[in-house]
Structure 1
């Protein structure tokens, strides 16, 4: 093999031939065994036209042909010529369908006389199809969620379509080729309809209200094309019929769904069904924004999990364990007498053997089905989802057969692109938890959690997690779609970005909130950096600029964003359970740091887009804010006014301090604080993605490694030791005694604190982007002394790249794969940076992470607590010795000790019984002069 075109795709989706734009950009990757392969030119062929493009561009290349018209289809192929003159063959042809429409034909329809709020409905229409049908396409949208059938069969595998958008300003439509679903003669279209997000009540503490509307509605049209060139439109309108009586009796995102199979109407979506009793539809007078073709993949069933354990709770309930906290619902196969009601309730954890439903708050998360007695039936809810690992089953006829219940996993169907592995199974499990957390919360929009009465698109969560998300899954189309909603909501608020998008919360959550509103600038910038997409900056630029302008209107010329309501470093582990905003890092420091960052992002984006005046203006504003930050919050000695890890991490990672000597002192103080806390985490949502980068970049890799691999509470790995299979919202969502955190807000599936995975990819394994879209990679592993191996793989826009390293004795061997048509900067410890071209490479260097492997100095009760915590074996021996005399004292010592150079171990166990001093002294003496290499 010399070189072949491996993949060709249009715009941002792999899951469909449909494109949402007349000029879809094209991306292709190359597989080659030739080292250093670089593209010199590309030939693109569509129908009878071929275009030659000089240069090496192969990612999001501008459409070189005439714009597509609505309904048009074509095939595109590409052939490449390398710099050495060799030419590939033509790629496999890529079919492209224009998924947009010139004019939306259907009106909104729904039940004419609903008898309750959010009433599910069935809609239908019979219509003839003449001879010579050449093509049929269905366009539909809903205020709510819809499943469409043609002649009794679903038109696609979508779930909860068309998904949640900012309904007042933006709706998306599905485009489905249904040619094979129709036949000459009479045909029938049927629609199952429910309220889903549109009719849900949003809000907390008993103040939840409907934001959008009381009833769901549907709009769509069938576009029929015939061989003679004629066309026909079958659109929603008065001709349709509706029924509010069907098997889905009630449905809600939070409440769950209830079915009565006795109300099923077999054949309701087939021709000839007797719809006596059905009524004419109501034509809804709500003004519908012009639907736009979707750019994000749809929600699908993406997996199934069996029951791994069945138990009976102390109260006598049958509880099923699926072994994994997931998002989805249950599918059951059951047989029983008519009228038998089976109830399924869901929860993420157990407490004292029972479902822990307290964290669900007002969400009932309960599904039920009433059997019709016709024999075995397989049933699954249609318009709801839950976050759960456990489910209780009530009303099952006879004993529950675990094989008859399956957990169906739901999420937006994103392509996996990133993997990580290491020699530490706990770290690998944590990374898998990050993946599962993202899967579950990337469901139509990027939600905060999937289980309680929330499930909202919190802007702060995705702002910190976007880099990790962009590595793990191909999520650009998904996030670009959500950013369109953000921009629409922002326009309603004069540039202010709401804390949740779509915006459904009122009260104190309205205003400029640092770290949350900055999603408007950070997320587009991340998409540009990780996917090489300048287009997303261009589309979001006005939103980015409007956000910083809104903040500047508050701050004036001071450069400081201070004195306003903020969420701050949310969920700092030191914050009280009922006040997650009470972090150690001052909220004004956090806000000003974010203002400086967003201003610089806007300045850099403006420069890339050719907005020269804006680039200069916002760069000056950014520098003014950085100077104000330094003047107000940073001392010349390298101390922050707010002496908290997050404050130091912000100053370092956002480039707020540039003086090398001051930066070194800031990094040293950060390392001191991290050690003082016993290498247990001390940051919240906004500090957590930054702290390991700040430590490692400041020369304290060992401290970053200890922090990452800590298993005591609070830490990233503590939940893993407690059986977590997703990332938690709180560091201690489950307390050490196995009880649920008493805070009002406790979730066991939140991705925000998993943002550290990006550092694991870039630094622990060593794979990251040096230039936007990985056009040039950065290979920069920093082996942690506690690991013997680490690896990251990522399907970049140019092809798969990987970096792995293995420790053998005192040597580190790095193996890297650089995709064709790219290059990489290699930065290894102890060596100057250098550049390599495409191909497979191997490097060897000396292990420099080994001070922990040197001979242990003499340790005693007179040793500083810093010396004790920096020697994991000594720390464990000290705790064990104290616990052998007084377990309670050991627990207090672990939680309360400050691990610093100026305090001895003896001073830190002041007033302990004499037996404790003796036990600790003996334990440390036994460790003296032993080889530390096995203790790390």
Structure 2
């Protein structure tokens, strides 16, 4: 009996432990244990974890401590909010480490244990003592040498905390005592440098010694003064690169010391003799100076740095993740091109660089030329790079093996041409590294169709390569700019694949910084096209309204209301620009990109008999005008701006009325008989409700006339499948998705083995010739916006807006089709993991769903045989419309199909 009682007690304790409410993934300002937080009221988030179903948080308590002292306590707050809960105490001192702890209560009588995390505040503006320093070298120019700086200092006491605060007008890398500081690359990233500049904070305590120490820094041109865009403009933000460095030391006895950049730093030329974003980098190993960042190095022959008087009042601590190294690749193939050149194939179109280990005579030069595609004759294709050389040039020292790695450039490539190595190439000497912003990958998606799975991989790789601190259009040619239209159409897909919350929050600060006084948002952000014809104070539909669409998408995907609050003034100015440009509420003026790169008959010889699919520019503009106004209504509702809600509701009615008057016949036919015209009109409810069914039929008829091929461009494509699914033509949406001949999503994969999304539907044609080399990128994520539909319709995962934003209130509505036998998708949300996986087996549909704690979901069953539904062997009663409201937990449904 005693043994039975002991066993029962053990069993009971084990089950209680399993059911115990736990808190995980604590974040401050969306980051884990961050340092360098300059938010006045930091926001705290956590994820509830439990094995029980239907769990909701009912209350929480947060305490913030400085050392052992509690400086603020929220008390027990009756709330289900587990994300973005703001600090409510007195002003936090700068450069101070805090811990915070949280516990929560749920609706099932469970109380979590206290869980602890930390954060460290940034510097106040008045804390900066550092001076901007420059090399003072005459040859330190945009096409000149890369300088290296050095500073020795001594500590005589035990260090308990050392934080380095660093930025540059240019790009920097730092070492302490011969070891690299941090794992960020191309820091401080790309911003509108003269208006918005971020600095980074690093914990360097473990890199310092008690006694003598040495700091080394290299300073590259980067985006700051390298040439940008196709007009060869350079020194856009300034001609002189400068470094700003401040090291804050705290000793065991509580005393503090500061080491700053000033003219006591020494400077010399590095072994990097040239570094430029488009052209690449040259490293001369003969010029390497051994141990120059180590203690004891003799820098008596080095010159003193020169202090400069640039402002610091506009700099702020980084809010986003830095660029880091991620996947590495060895060549999957080494071969000779038809012309005899040696080629490395890394098997994946990626963005980053290649490291090399080589040995030879002093002065021997090895050149790596990066490119994306081989041409039909078996030779490397460089023409689409335009004027970008995209080369890494390495000059050997002659002193044994040399290791080379770029520092202040990057390349978009799959292939590398190798010149300068005699004899057989050893592939082990080469490693390619992918560089991109260090966002957490949150989404996964898979189906029974291997081509669709490759499409998903291509979408994600397109995002990786082009989310390099700024959402760029392409990473390889002489462009690589933050085109607003590309970012706008892809923003929701981006937010499934990765946690892009902070990435976009940072970029949107530059949208605000570069917005024209008249409210127009430039075509690219940061705005480097002022010297071109695109540099006018004008806004194009689908591009400039990224300043409205992206903040709203960020709010919906992540539940981050702060982004809407921060951007609201910018959003208003943007929509007011359109209102001022419009005549009687009709936006039919100014330059428009319209449905960029839609199908034209001269695009390919493979579709004889097809007609062009060019949509009227201003029809597109009017639709996006309505879209922007609708999002302003939504945003004003979220922020409680009731007067604005009424104003924009009135405006929206006028905008739609003018659309119907100008672009639609009384029977509902549009002046442009294109897929995009009907897609946009249906997506944004531009047509009277009674005329929408026949508009759907016209759309479907158009698609059928192209033998189930899409003909849409950048603005029509994202909404093509969502519109079809919304209006009951999921069958057509699947046919478009699974189409594998040109033009389609799968054509590049099936015909040419694409590993990223292309800029054009036929960047490479069926006969293996290329589209217009002036604008043919093989890594261009815009058409990957179909990923949004794949997550939301095939896997079925979505979130309700307003009170349910950020997957607090979830909807899961998978729509089967395309002869898929299974599909599964998952998403790490701010509330936890959401997943939906279905498969067809022996005439049954098996559907597994997971809903995170502190969330609820409305499920829509993908069957009409509602009485057949069971969960865990128990019959489930859905509503007549096939829905069921559930709480958190894991569910395994079985049903007839």
TM-score by length of 2: 0.91
* Aligned match of 1:773: 806
Q: Any idea what the Cα deviations from partners look like across 1:512-550, whole Å, max 9, x if unmatched? A: 111000100000000000001111000000000010111
**Which of the numbers 693, 703, 708 marks the counterpart of 1:674?**
703
Whether the aligned pair in 1 keeps the contact of 2:291 and 2:297 (CA below 8 Å) is yes
* Aligned match of 1:477: 502
- SS of the equivalent of 2:775 reads coil
1:120-519 correspondence to structure 2 within 5 Å: 120-204=146-230, 206-243=231-268, 245-351=269-375, 352-490=377-515, 492-506=516-530, 507-509=532-534, 510=536, 511-519=538-546
Cα separation, 2, equivalents of 1:185 and 1:135: 15
Whether the aligned pair in 2 keeps the contact of 1:224 and 1:231 (CA below 8 Å) is yes
- SS of the equivalent of 2:76 reads strand
Cα separation, 1, equivalents of 2:440 and 2:151: 36
Whether the aligned pair in 2 keeps the contact of 1:223 and 1:233 (CA below 8 Å) is yes
Cα separation, 2, equivalents of 1:438 and 1:600: 27
Residue 17 of structure 1 and its aligned partner are, at CA, apart by: 4.6
Deviates more, 1:543-552 or 1:821-830: 821-830
Deviates more, 1:188-197 or 1:834-843: 834-843
Cα separation, 1, equivalents of 2:37 and 2:311: 26
Cα separation, 2, equivalents of 1:287 and 1:27: 34
* Aligned match of 1:629: 659
* Aligned match of 1:526: 553
Residue 738 of structure 1 and its aligned partner are, at CA, apart by: 1.4
1:853-892 correspondence to structure 2 within 5 Å: none
1:801-812 correspondence to structure 2 within 5 Å: 801-808=834-841, 810-812=843-845
Deviates more, 1:361-370 or 1:622-631: 622-631
Length, aligned pairs only: 838
Deviates more, 1:266-275 or 1:422-431: 266-275
Residue 808 of structure 1 and its aligned partner are, at CA, apart by: 3.2
* Aligned match of 1:842: 892
Whether the aligned pair in 2 keeps the contact of 1:168 and 1:289 (CA below 8 Å) is no
Whether the aligned pair in 2 keeps the contact of 1:570 and 1:583 (CA below 8 Å) is no
Cα separation, 2, equivalents of 1:15 and 1:717: 42
- SS of the equivalent of 1:754 reads helix
Whether the aligned pair in 2 keeps the contact of 1:573 and 1:730 (CA below 8 Å) is no
* Aligned match of 1:555: 582
* Aligned match of 2:790: 760
For the pair 1:782 / 2:815, whether they are aligned, the reply is yes
Cα separation, 2, equivalents of 1:741 and 1:446: 24
For the pair 1:33 / 2:63, whether they are aligned, the reply is no
* Aligned match of 2:620: 590
Whether the aligned pair in 2 keeps the contact of 1:577 and 1:743 (CA below 8 Å) is no
Whether the aligned pair in 2 keeps the contact of 1:571 and 1:583 (CA below 8 Å) is no
Whether the aligned pair in 2 keeps the contact of 1:336 and 1:375 (CA below 8 Å) is yes
* Aligned match of 1:96: 119
* Aligned match of 2:629: 599
Cα separation, 1, equivalents of 2:891 and 2:703: 36
1:536-547 correspondence to structure 2 within 5 Å: 536-547=563-574
For the pair 1:798 / 2:798, whether they are aligned, the reply is no
Deviates more, 1:255-264 or 1:731-740: 731-740
1:7-22 correspondence to structure 2 within 5 Å: 7-14=25-32, 16-22=34-40
- SS of the equivalent of 1:201 reads coil
Residue 228 of structure 1 and its aligned partner are, at CA, apart by: 3.9
Cα separation, 1, equivalents of 2:481 and 2:602: 23
Cα separation, 1, equivalents of 2:896 and 2:728: 17
Cα separation, 1, equivalents of 2:445 and 2:502: 23
Q: Any idea what the Cα deviations from partners look like across 1:864-907, whole Å, max 9, x if unmatched? A: xxxxxxxxxxxxxxxxxxxxxxxxxxxxxxxxxxxxxxxxxxxx
Whether the aligned pair in 1 keeps the contact of 2:484 and 2:524 (CA below 8 Å) is yes
Residue 654 of structure 1 and its aligned partner are, at CA, apart by: 1.5
- SS of the equivalent of 2:338 reads coil
- SS of the equivalent of 2:248 reads strand
Cα separation, 2, equivalents of 1:562 and 1:11: 42
Cα separation, 2, equivalents of 1:313 and 1:131: 61
- SS of the equivalent of 1:23 reads coil
Residue 288 of structure 1 and its aligned partner are, at CA, apart by: 4.5
Cα separation, 2, equivalents of 1:236 and 1:389: 40
Alpha-carbon spacing, 1:577–1:218, altered in 2? closer, same or farther (3 Å)? farther
Cα separation, 1, equivalents of 2:131 and 2:380: 45
Residue 413 of structure 1 and its aligned partner are, at CA, apart by: 0.9
Cα separation, 2, equivalents of 1:250 and 1:484: 31
For the pair 1:814 / 2:814, whether they are aligned, the reply is no
Cα separation, 2, equivalents of 1:440 and 1:16: 25
Residue 563 of structure 1 and its aligned partner are, at CA, apart by: 3.2
Whether the aligned pair in 1 keeps the contact of 2:212 and 2:295 (CA below 8 Å) is yes
* Aligned match of 1:649: 679
Whether the aligned pair in 1 keeps the contact of 2:735 and 2:818 (CA below 8 Å) is no
Cα separation, 2, equivalents of 1:574 and 1:104: 57
Whether the aligned pair in 2 keeps the contact of 1:344 and 1:394 (CA below 8 Å) is yes
Cα separation, 1, equivalents of 2:775 and 2:601: 13
Q: Any idea what the Cα deviations from partners look like across 1:708-750, whole Å, max 9, x if unmatched? A: 1100001000011111000000001111111221341000001
TM-score by length of 1: 0.87
Whether the aligned pair in 2 keeps the contact of 1:638 and 1:669 (CA below 8 Å) is no
- SS of the equivalent of 2:86 reads coil
For the pair 1:688 / 2:717, whether they are aligned, the reply is yes
Whether the aligned pair in 1 keeps the contact of 2:349 and 2:372 (CA below 8 Å) is yes
Cα separation, 1, equivalents of 2:677 and 2:110: 54
Residue 152 of structure 1 and its aligned partner are, at CA, apart by: 1.6
* Aligned match of 1:850: none
Which ranges in structure 1 are unaligned for 5 or more consecutive residues? 848-936
- SS of the equivalent of 1:785 reads coil
Whether the aligned pair in 2 keeps the contact of 1:336 and 1:397 (CA below 8 Å) is no
Whether the aligned pair in 2 keeps the contact of 1:262 and 1:372 (CA below 8 Å) is yes
Moved over 4 A (4+): 575-578
Residue 117 of structure 1 and its aligned partner are, at CA, apart by: 2.2
Cα separation, 2, equivalents of 1:169 and 1:195: 18
Alpha-carbon spacing, 1:783–1:392, altered in 2? closer, same or farther (3 Å)? same
Q: Any idea what the Cα deviations from partners look like across 1:306-329, whole Å, max 9, x if unmatched? A: 110010112221100000000010
For the pair 1:58 / 2:87, whether they are aligned, the reply is no
Cα separation, 1, equivalents of 2:343 and 2:840: 45
Deviates more, 1:761-770 or 1:739-748: 739-748
- SS of the equivalent of 2:855 reads strand
- SS of the equivalent of 2:774 reads coil
Cα separation, 2, equivalents of 1:366 and 1:599: 46
Residue 272 of structure 1 and its aligned partner are, at CA, apart by: 2.8
Alpha-carbon spacing, 1:442–1:613, altered in 2? closer, same or farther (3 Å)? same
Alpha-carbon spacing, 1:686–1:175, altered in 2? closer, same or farther (3 Å)? same
Q: Any idea what the Cα deviations from partners look like across 1:655-700, whole Å, max 9, x if unmatched? A: 22351x2111111111111111111111000000001011111111
Residue 583 of structure 1 and its aligned partner are, at CA, apart by: 5.6
* Aligned match of 1:909: none
Residue 218 of structure 1 and its aligned partner are, at CA, apart by: 0.8
Residue 64 of structure 1 and its aligned partner are, at CA, apart by: 4.0
**Which of the numbers 854, 860, 877 marks the counterpart of 1:827?**
860
Whether the aligned pair in 1 keeps the contact of 2:350 and 2:434 (CA below 8 Å) is yes
- SS of the equivalent of 2:334 reads strand
Cα separation, 1, equivalents of 2:818 and 2:224: 52
- SS of the equivalent of 1:46 reads strand
Residue 397 of structure 1 and its aligned partner are, at CA, apart by: 4.1
